[in-house]
Structure 1
Amino acid sequence: MTRQPQERTSVRKPPAPLSDAAFTLLVQGVLDYGIFMLDPQGYIISWNAGAERIKGYRAEDIVGRHFSVFYPFEDQSSGKPQWELETAVAEGRLEDEGWRVRKDGSRFWANVVITALWDEMGVLQGFGKVTRDMSERRAAQHALTERRRLFDHLVQAQETERRRIAWDVHDDSIQAMVAVGMRLELLADRVPEPYAAELQRLDTSVREAIGRLRSLTFRLHPPGIDRHGLIEGLASHLEDVVGSSWGMPYAFEHRLHREPPPETAITIFRIVQETLLNVHKHAGASRVDISVESVDRGVLTRVKDDGTGAPRSEDGTREHFGVIEMRERAETAGGWWSMRSRPGAGTTVEFWVPDPHPLPDSTPVDGSP
């Protein structure tokens, strides 16, 4: 009987604790964070390379001075530095974001953490202070906020112009053509038969033009989206246009955490509207499926048809009306847009736009499946 060799298991020894010298080397070498210590009164007793890089002081220039030198004059006058130390003592630590001052007098936006340090006897020995320069992040946030403000203004301006054009068409062009149609009907009853038939054909053409104009005004400013929100607006559009007017079967699923803001809702609605129009005109589809859901702090929308698929031109780009407008709408809102299609396999348009104020929970709005 042979004995099987026993499997050897190696036991890894725990790493040796970091020595005081190594820990000091680590703290001193960190460049992205200003790390230094204060005595119980707030005077600086240590300084690292990160603090020098962020604040501009060399150790020999700043050690021994009070840390309030980093605060703007208005904060010094209000007693903010001392209040922060007292808060750190009372609560153990304090975190703050605000303006701080470099050696050259320039200001930067800082994230600051002050931690009270106690010995074994419970006696306060001083404070540990960690500072991070957040100026670039704050500038990026301001740029994003400004971009969002400009986007909202652009959407509102576009919708106002669309509404004005829709009203002008309805109150002027359509009414004028309705009057022409009524005159043609009266004339058809008073002229001989050969002329009456021609007038009837003209009247039919006028009625068809009126119908097209009314469809145009609806596309320019569909009712409901500004009063009832995205889900009701889309549902109404699908029922009235896709189902009733086009006679196309469809499915609509929505799983939103909440209704998005008006500008976001209008952007989503307009892209879906353009996509559906392309499906109706060019896809040769017998069915379309639409889904809207909250994903990654935004709204993901999918429009899928079972049509012929979008053909490709000789240079490889998709020949599809409205593609540039749809992509620009999504990207202007800070999102993305894509289209997947193969001849004979249908087309899927998918896009995502951010929600400026998403809810943290994942509960869909009432009425969604």
Structure 2
Amino acid sequence: MPGQDRQSEDIQLLVRSVVDYSICLLDPAGHVTSWNAGAERIKGYRAEEIIGRHFSVFYPPEDVAAGKPAMELEVAVADGRWEEEGWRVRKDGTRFWASVVITALHDERGELRGFGKVTRDLTERRNVARALDERGMLLAHLVRAQEVERRRIAYDVHDDTIQSMVAVGMRLRAMESGLGGEQAAEVRGIGEAVEAAVARLRDLTFELRPPALDEEGLVEGLAGYLRQVTAGTGLSFEIDHRLDADPPPEAAVTIFRICQEAITNVRKHARATSIRLSLVSLDRGVHVRVADDGTGLPPGAEGPLRHFGLIEMRERAEIAGGWWSLTDRPGAGTTVDFWVPAVPHA
């Protein structure tokens, strides 16, 4: 009937025009069949780029590997709908915290015609709530306490232990000049061991707390760290930063520590020639990408690299309320992607 057709057209126009919600239809197998303005704004795909693709493209790799998209459709068919909040993935690979409702659509004969999927981006609301909750405040205080202790140890080692050892080295050189033969050689060997120990301690104090992080902020702290660890290695680096402002101290420290671990892994394991680091303000947080052109992770890398490096990076990001992921391209390098909220805590 003409009236019903006009009403249907109006509803379709409304759905297509909504920008605050991603509204799309899926076929029974989960492929996208329609796309609205809100879906393009939230997820970054134009209609011609996404229609026909499976909706699992919106899920983090670990959820896809666990079969989560298929499970959600099964529950929607069995119960009529599926609803949750969780991480979803944009076209550019960044994640956002989403409220998702999937509804099974049946025709008048009860046959499954597909699914309606409504997604809302709740990232900003989640970040503000987290900044006010007890867990967020506890994390902020914990990070501050850890960094104060790291700074104290670094200063103590630099101002006390290193200076004492430097003085010992100077006395050994003075002793060597008054000796000859084997005795001079022995004293020289001891002096060289002391100098090597002093160099290692200087590296340790820099790892504990790079001076630029306190004095000049996150970007210069990372630049200083990269200059220090790539010197003499043949590694080049570049930093691209588009930050609205320097993040709060606890967020800056979390970002620095994750980058520090990622850069160390590149230097020690990747056999790379370059490192590319980018920092961008996104969703009231900071999105960071550390990419190299090395060999990628070795097949089945389950040893110390994965256990002590990758897990630590992921845990730091997730404890801060963010996310972390690794893209490995064997023979073409790896990319560490992560995002942490940058909302000041009380």
**Cα distance change on mapping 1:316 and 1:270 into 2, 3 Å:** closer
Tell me the secondary structure at the aligned position of residue 245 of structure 2: coil
Size of the alignment, in residue pairs? 227
Q: Which residue of 1 aligns with 2:208?
A: 220
- The reply to whether residue 273 of structure 1 matches residue 257 of structure 2 is no
Matched-pair identity in %: 54
Secondary structure class of the residue paired with 2:288:
strand
Letter in 1 for 2:286: V
Aligned to 1:333: 320
When the two chains are superposed, the root-mean-square deviation of aligned CA atoms in Å is 2.9
The answer on whether the counterparts of 1:311 and 1:319 sit within 8 Å (CA) in structure 2 is no
**Mind listing any 5+ residue stretches in structure 1 that lack a counterpart?**
1-8, 16-136, 358-369
Query: Per the alignment, in what secondary structure is the counterpart of residue 279 of structure 2?
Result: strand
CA distance in 2, matches of 1:293, 1:181: 46
Deviation at 1:211, TM superposition (A): 0.7
Aligned match for 2:240, one of 245, 253, 256: 253
* SS in structure 2 of the partner of residue 326 of structure 1: helix
Q: Which region of structure 1 is more displaced relative to structure 2, 321-330 or 272-281?
A: 321-330
Shift of 1:314: 7.3
CA-to-aligned-CA distance 1:189-215 (integer Å, 9 cap, x gap): 122222212322221221111011001
Alignment of 1:47-66 (within 5 A): none
Q: Which string of whole-angstrom CA distances, capped at 9 and with x for unpartnered residues, describes residues 174-227 of structure 1? A: 122212211221221122222212322221221111011001101101112233
Secondary structure, aligned partner of 1:224: helix
SS in 2 for 1:348: strand
- What does the per-residue CA deviation read over 1:18-61, in whole Å, with 9 as the maximum and x for residues that have no partner? xxxxxxxxxxxxxxxxxxxxxxxxxxxxxxxxxxxxxxxxxxxx
Structure 1 equivalent of residue 186 of structure 2: 198
2:250 to 254, 259, 263: 263
- 1:200 partner letter: R
Q: Which amino acid aligns with 2:183?
A: Y
CA contact (8 A) 2:166 2:198 kept: yes
Report the secondary structure of 2:133's partner residue: helix
Q: Distance in 2 between matches of 1:203 and 1:316?
A: 37
1:157-236 matches, within 5 Å, as 157-236=145-224
Q: Which stretches in structure 2 are left out of the alignment for 5+ residues?
A: 8-124
- 1:165 shift after superposition: 1.1
Match of 1:146 in 2: 134
Offset, 1:328:
1.6
In structure 2, what is the equivalent of residue 27 of structure 1? none
SS in 2 for 1:307: coil
Counterpart in the other structure of 1:114: none
Q: 1:174 to 1:315 in 2, by over 3 A?
A: closer
**Cα distance between partner residues in 1 of 2:317 and 2:5:** 55
Q: Is the 8 A contact 1:310 1:319 kept in 2?
A: no
Secondary structure at the aligned position of 2:244 is classed as coil
**Mapped pair 1:323 → 2:310:** yes
1:310–1:320 contact (8 Å) kept in structure 2:
no
**Structure 1 stretches of 4+ moved >3 Å:** 9-15, 140-144, 244-247, 312-321
Contact 1:261 1:355 in 2 (8 A): yes
Counterpart for residue 305 of structure 1: 292
2:302 & 2:250 partners in 1: Cα distance? 35
The superposition leaves residues 154-178 of structure 1 with CA deviations (integer Å, 9 ceiling, x where unpaired) of 1101101101111221133212221
Q: Which protein shows a greater Rg?
A: 1
Distance 2:296 2:260 in 1: 18
Alpha-carbon distance change, 146 to 286 in structure 1, aligned in 2, over 3 angstroms: same
SS in 2 for 1:353: strand
